[in-house]
A and B are shown apart, each in its own frame.
Chain A
Amino acid sequence: MSTPAGNGRRPFPHRNLLGISDLSPYEIVELIDRAEAMIPVSRQQRKSLPTLSGKTQINLFFEPSTRTQASFEIAGKRLGAQVTNMSVKTSSVTKGETLVDTAATLNAMQPDVIIVRHPASGAVELLSQKVGCAVINAGDGAHEHPTQALLDALTIRQHKGRLAGLTVAICGDIANSRVARSNLLLLGALQVRTRVIAPKTLLPRGIEALATEVFTDMRKGLEGVDVVMMLRLQHERAAGRLIPSVREYYRFYGLDADKLSLAKSDAIVMHPGPMNRGVEIDPAIADGPRSVITHQVEMGVAVRMAVLDALLADPTQVAA
């Protein structure tokens, strides 16, 4: 196997990773390939590559996130970067310093990469216009979460050996999900058939433009699929308006053994986390043999290492 930061590699032609929509199919596959090559680094005793040595990485999270922030932090550290975590509490009522001000402040500290999560769609792109370093979108509103889609694709490819020609069902709160949008864009670019499954209240207008097929009946939607991707339901927000109750949602849109039996017998079950067991997924499925959820978490570190490496590593420098 070639080293991830290998010789003669062409530079990645983007300064930022803001969304899957900015990437060509070729670039998507290249990032997945690079991520796959990163997997052994995390599995060996000495889990490090020095490609980002001396670089400064800031994790700027305007929304609380345990796993994504930790994943980026570990990815950066395994590549030798200095990582600083900044959690910023925001509310639309007490804005105080604007996002643009924050960007200017951080930019003055000369970071090499800023990883941003923000509750507003488009906020990461806005911030990227105001800084001189690389920016990685770790989730902006209901817009995109590109590293999640990349890690999901890598996970699927690891289990299925391919992507093109598969059928993937994405189930749940499509309307509010950046994970769904990035996955639909990525899978669509790589010739994967996509289905979205949700009650109409959780399907945004015009979603047909992103998905191959749209289902409101989960049983029909799961028929013959290779991958079942569940989404987290923000049930505190949805209750009483978008869905009447958790128990009704679980009855019709929760993944249980009965519904899963309609998918292919070797179908895998995915979830971006954090899970609501008993809301969108039966605990027995979440922790069962078809679940690849912990594998997704592992692939997350590899994907984030690959993205950091692609954006930051000097391609002329040969890894030790």
Chain B
Amino acid sequence: MTAPLVIANARIVDPASNTDRKGALLVADGRIEGLAEGAPQGVPDGATLIDARGLVVAPGLIDMRVFTGEPGHEYRETLATAADAAAAGGVTSFVLMPDTTPVVDDGAIVDFIVRRAAATARVNVLPAAAITRGLAGEEITEFGLLREAGAVCLSDGRRSIQSAGLMRAAMTYAANFDLPIVHHVADASLAGEGVMNEGTLATISGLKGIPAEAETIPLARDLQLAALTGVRYHAAQVSTAGALELVAAAKRRARVSAGISINNLALNENDVAPYRTFFKLSPPLRSEDDRQAMIEGLRAGTIDVIHSAHDPQDSEVKRQPFAEASEGAIGLETLLAAALRLVHSGDVELLTLLRAMTQRPAEILGLSSGRLAIGAPADIIVIDPDYPWVVAEQDIVSRSHNTAFEGARMQGAVMQTFVAGRSVFRHAQWPEGDA
């Protein structure tokens, strides 16, 4: 048992209870034991006291889309290095995508991930199991056994299921076990050989484009099938204005939610030029009009979740001509700071922003974390929302360095991260002691 912990002099921001006020938190046995308005009402004997100095204290972030290289490509990222990066970014739980070697499509591999994470990772690792064997989009996996082994949701990761018939079968069977389906939608025949957003910029660059319809057509299919089957369906990442209309309409008749990569909220297609492969992402960075629509969708609640889409890739596969380079960028360490840009620009309230990274993912995944409530796991972060810093390659914690924010000026950083009441990260400039 660790000593009790009191975090005092805090600006408590808890989206789940719509709270944003001064207060204190008491943590014991890895759970939140008490919440006080204003000063703490007595500090238990032997408790560690942390003075938050008026900074934001919020639930630890839950990142619904993280790739690592373990098992199979440990040189890119292990569970341990991803967890270190997560802790530094204020992410106390992340959903691990099943795109590993071997694929997480079998209970034994889920079990391996759970044990390996417990032994090596300092944050909570929540395995997503593959919807289809080998992510091949042909045969469904053993949803029941996968859930028993510890899978929190079903996802084909980077892959998108092309067959409507198979998707219907998967949704019907997933509803049977009440496992949410988290699906990245991309119509392979429409995306074709596309490598960036379709439009003038792609044409000038001589690159093949990916039209918005490669997203909206399979999304419309999935949303109709979700209504038909009653499954809990989460559109893993939407990027186009058209997708928002579909999701908003479907929410009235089906149990659906939608996520977005922070990259599609913070960046646009202009960042790609000229041929910067760290900006080669899936879905592609879209137009500024799309980005503005996504911000509005976040404000309106059409978009439920913001995730990092953390996808470590080594320089061998990134230092290639644009069309031949791998997709993906790391993002665990920059998720919060990049998201805070929307707060600093006046586009989104802090509570709304944090809700998309705490309360909503917890609700979608059925987790007890993601809130500052008595009895909830003490997954807590201290945020200085104004701390200025520059993203520098040498400071990156992740094993891979393919960030889309290299050199970016950020405002806002995590000062300390607690998982189950234990300090797992402390910022070098944060004077408070380890708990």
Q: Do A and B come from one complex?
A: yes
Query: Distance in Å from the Cβ of B135 to the closest Cβ of chain A?
Result: 20
In chain A between 136 and 162, which residues have their CB closer than 8 angstroms to a CB of chain B?
Answer: 140-144
A204 near B205 with CB under 8 A, answer no
A98 near B274 with CB under 8 A, answer no
A2–B210 Cα distance when bound, in Å, is 51
A181 near B206 with CB under 8 A, answer yes
Cβ–Cβ < 8 Å partners of A140 in chain B: 206
Stretch at the interface among B196-204, B361-369, B380-388, B413-421: B196-204
B201 near A122 with CB under 8 A, answer no
A121 near B204 with CB under 8 A, answer no
A92–B321 Cα distance when bound, in Å, is 11
Q: Is A193 an interface residue (CB 8 A)?
A: no
Which B residues fall within an 8 A CB radius of A? 198-209, 211, 274-275, 316, 319-324
Cβ–Cβ < 8 Å partners of A292 in chain B: none
Stretch at the interface among A43-51, A205-213, A273-281: A205-213
B206 near A142 with CB under 8 A, answer yes
A122 near B203 with CB under 8 A, answer no
* A92, A98, A100, A120 — most chain B CB neighbours (10 Å): A120
Nearest to B201 among chain A residues (CB) is A206
B322 near A121 with CB under 8 A, answer yes
Q: Is A192 an interface residue (CB 8 A)?
A: no
B199 near A205 with CB under 8 A, answer yes
Query: Distance in Å from the Cβ of B430 to the closest Cβ of chain A?
Result: 39
Which residue in B198, B200, B316, B321 is a CB contact (below 8 Å) of A123? Answer: B321
> Provided the pairs A122-B275, A125-B275, A205-B199 are in contact, do residues A143 and B205 lie with their beta carbons within 8 angstroms?
yes
Query: Distance in Å from the Cβ of B74 to the closest Cβ of chain A?
Result: 21
Q: Is A99 an interface residue (CB 8 A)?
A: yes
- Can you list 24 A-B contacts (CB < 8 A)? A21-B204, A92-B324, A95-B324, A120-B322, A121-B206, A121-B323, A123-B321, A125-B275, A126-B319, A140-B206, A141-B321, A141-B323, A181-B204, A204-B203, A205-B199, A205-B211, A206-B199, A206-B200, A206-B203, A206-B204, A207-B203, A209-B203, A210-B203, A210-B204
A207–B427 Cα distance when bound, in Å, is 49
Cβ–Cβ < 8 Å partners of A144 in chain B: 206
Q: Is A178 an interface residue (CB 8 A)?
A: yes
Nearest to A62 among chain B residues (CB) is B321
Q: Is A118 an interface residue (CB 8 A)?
A: yes
A96–B202 Cα distance when bound, in Å, is 27
B207 near A121 with CB under 8 A, answer yes
Cβ–Cβ < 8 Å partners of A123 in chain B: 321
Cβ–Cβ < 8 Å partners of A141 in chain B: 206-207, 321, 323
Nearest to A21 among chain B residues (CB) is B204
A118 near B321 with CB under 8 A, answer yes
Query: Distance in Å from the Cβ of A184 to the closest Cβ of chain B?
Result: 10
Cβ–Cβ < 8 Å partners of B201 in chain A: 206
Cβ–Cβ < 8 Å partners of B202 in chain A: 204-206
A98–B314 Cα distance when bound, in Å, is 13
B206 near A98 with CB under 8 A, answer no
A122 near B274 with CB under 8 A, answer yes
Cβ–Cβ < 8 Å partners of A121 in chain B: 205-207, 275, 321-323
A204–B319 Cα distance when bound, in Å, is 27
A209 near B319 with CB under 8 A, answer no
> Provided the pairs A144-B206, A204-B209, A209-B204 are in contact, do residues A125 and B323 lie with their beta carbons within 8 angstroms?
no
Query: Distance in Å from the Cβ of A298 to the closest Cβ of chain B?
Result: 27
Known: A121-B322, A125-B274, A210-B204. 20 other contacts (CB 8 A): A95-B324, A99-B321, A121-B205, A121-B207, A122-B275, A122-B322, A123-B321, A126-B275, A126-B320, A141-B321, A142-B207, A143-B205, A144-B206, A178-B206, A204-B203, A205-B199, A205-B202, A205-B203, A205-B209, A206-B200
A239–B285 Cα distance when bound, in Å, is 31
Q: Scan A76-119; emit 1 where CB is below 8 A from any B CB, else 0.
A: 00000000000000001001001110000000000000000010
A99–B316 Cα distance when bound, in Å, is 10
Query: Distance in Å from the Cβ of B312 to the closest Cβ of chain A?
Result: 19
A92–B201 Cα distance when bound, in Å, is 24
A126 near B203 with CB under 8 A, answer no
> Provided the pairs A98-B320, A99-B320, A206-B199 are in contact, do residues A122 and B205 lie with their beta carbons within 8 angstroms?
yes
Cβ–Cβ < 8 Å partners of B275 in chain A: 121-122, 125-126
> Provided the pairs A98-B320, A99-B321, A126-B321 are in contact, do residues A143 and B206 lie with their beta carbons within 8 angstroms?
yes
A209–B222 Cα distance when bound, in Å, is 35
Cβ–Cβ < 8 Å partners of A125 in chain B: 274-275
Cβ–Cβ < 8 Å partners of A92 in chain B: 324
B206 near A205 with CB under 8 A, answer no
Instruction: Give the 8 A-B CB pairs with smallest separation, nearest first.
Output: A206-B200, A143-B206, A122-B275, A120-B321, A142-B206, A121-B206, A123-B321, A204-B203
Nearest to A176 among chain B residues (CB) is B206
Nearest to B319 among chain A residues (CB) is A100
A144–B274 Cα distance when bound, in Å, is 13
Cβ–Cβ < 8 Å partners of B203 in chain A: 204-207, 209-210
Cβ–Cβ < 8 Å partners of B207 in chain A: 121-122, 141-143
A181–B200 Cα distance when bound, in Å, is 12
Cβ–Cβ < 8 Å partners of A209 in chain B: 200, 203-204
Query: Distance in Å from the Cβ of B271 to the closest Cβ of chain A?
Result: 15
A122–B199 Cα distance when bound, in Å, is 17
* A21, A143, A210 — most chain B CB neighbours (10 Å): A143
A100–B317 Cα distance when bound, in Å, is 11
Query: Distance in Å from the Cβ of B228 to the closest Cβ of chain A?
Result: 33
Cβ–Cβ < 8 Å partners of B209 in chain A: 204-205
Query: Distance in Å from the Cβ of A232 to the closest Cβ of chain B?
Result: 16
Query: Distance in Å from the Cβ of B388 to the closest Cβ of chain A?
Result: 30
Query: Distance in Å from the Cβ of B319 to the closest Cβ of chain A?
Result: 5
In chain A between 153 and 184, which residues have their CB closer than 8 angstroms to a CB of chain B?
Answer: 178, 181
A126–B209 Cα distance when bound, in Å, is 20
* A121, A122, A204, A210 — most chain B CB neighbours (10 Å): A122
Cβ–Cβ < 8 Å partners of B319 in chain A: 98, 100, 126
Nearest to B200 among chain A residues (CB) is A206
Nearest to B322 among chain A residues (CB) is A122
A233–B198 Cα distance when bound, in Å, is 22
In chain A between 229 and 267, which residues have their CB closer than 8 angstroms to a CB of chain B?
Answer: none
Query: Distance in Å from the Cβ of A68 to the closest Cβ of chain B?
Result: 17
A205–B204 Cα distance when bound, in Å, is 10
Cβ–Cβ < 8 Å partners of B208 in chain A: 142
* A98, A121, A141 — most chain B CB neighbours (10 Å): A121
Query: Distance in Å from the Cβ of B207 to the closest Cβ of chain A?
Result: 5
Nearest to A130 among chain B residues (CB) is B319
A120 near B324 with CB under 8 A, answer yes
B274 near A120 with CB under 8 A, answer no
Cβ–Cβ < 8 Å partners of B274 in chain A: 122, 125
